[in-house]
Amino acid sequence: MKCKAYLTIYLALSLTVMLSVVMVLLMGVKKNTIRMEEELALNTAGWSALAEYHQELFRQYDLFFIDTSYGSGFPEIEALGEHVKDYANKPFSVDFRNDFYSVGYGKMRGKINYDSK
């Protein structure tokens, strides 16, 4: 009767391994969800910027023209980039504190890091 606790030890070790596997899977799901939401935000931002084309020029002359001055009088391509960044950050500026599904999305609140690869 020396080894009565073998089942308890076996279950404790097995449960530890199973819980670690489940936690790794959940972390992977969280990471992929964040990546997918960032990708969708950037895709939507690109389409939103392209939707600001000058419709009259397109209708009459088949020219796809985007006014990059945005009312400033000085057209710059950087202004279009800033406009796309503003569109991309809009979904992440919403406050999700009372939303059950946003638990653990602390890294998503804020702005998208455009320099990361």
Question: Given the structure tokens 């030890």, which residue do they identify?
Answer: 9
Strands (E), the chain: none
Distance (Å, whole) CA 75 – CA 95: 34
Domain annotation covers residue 4? no
Kindly report the pTM of this predicted structure.
0.60
pLDDT at 79: 87
pLDDT at 27: 94
Domain range for residue 79? 32-102
Domain count along the chain: 1
Domain annotation covers residue 58? yes
End-to-end alpha-carbon separation of the chain, Å?
Answer: 60
Distance (Å, whole) CA 51 – CA 65: 10
Please list the pLDDT of the chain residue by residue as tens digits (117 residues): 566 778 888 899 999 999 999 999 999 999 999 899 889 988 998 898 888 888 899 999 999 888 888 878 888 888 888 888 888 888 777 655 555 555 454 555 455 555 554
Domain annotation covers residue 110? no
* 114 Cβ contact list (under 8 Å, min separation 6): 85
For residue 79, the tally of other CB atoms under 10 A from its CB is 16
